[in-house]
């Protein structure tokens, strides 16, 4: 019976060692999975940040161009009004000259 007990003991030891090895490998795999997830999350966050920065820069550029266009429009409108006033003054001047004659 001593031999049978040795075999059973050795089998239990083997099973325990196999479970231990499996748990170690599982822990290593989980650690690698978490490291990969962290790396992916980091890359996603960087890409999101880069996107937001570029979007903000483009938004500033768009707003600047809109403001420039609006100012150009207002300037052109002011020039046109000035020309109209000049023409009106010319007409009045001619009318005054003609009324003198």
DSSP type of residue 101? -
pTM: 0.55
Q: What span, in angstroms and rounded, lies between the C-alpha atoms of 81 and 88?
A: 10
Give tens-digit pLDDT for 57-92: 999 999 999 999 999 999 999 999 999 999 999 998
Q: State the first-to-last Cα distance of the chain, in angstroms, to the nearest integer.
A: 148
Report the C-alpha gap between 36 and 30 in whole angstroms.
10
């Amino acid at each position: 019976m001593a031999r049978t007990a040795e075999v059973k003991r050795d089998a239990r030891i083997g099973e325990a060692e196999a479970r231990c090895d499996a748990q170690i490998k599982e822990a290593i795999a989980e650690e690698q999975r978490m490291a990969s997830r962290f790396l992916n999350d980091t890359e996603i966050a960087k890409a999101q940040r880069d996107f937001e920065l570029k979007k903000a820069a483009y938004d500033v550029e768009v707003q600047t161009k809109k403001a420039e266009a609006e100012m150009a429009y207002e300037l052109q409108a002011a020039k046109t009004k000035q020309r109209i006033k000049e023409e009106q003054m010319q007409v009045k001047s001619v009318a005054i000259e003609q009324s003198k004659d």
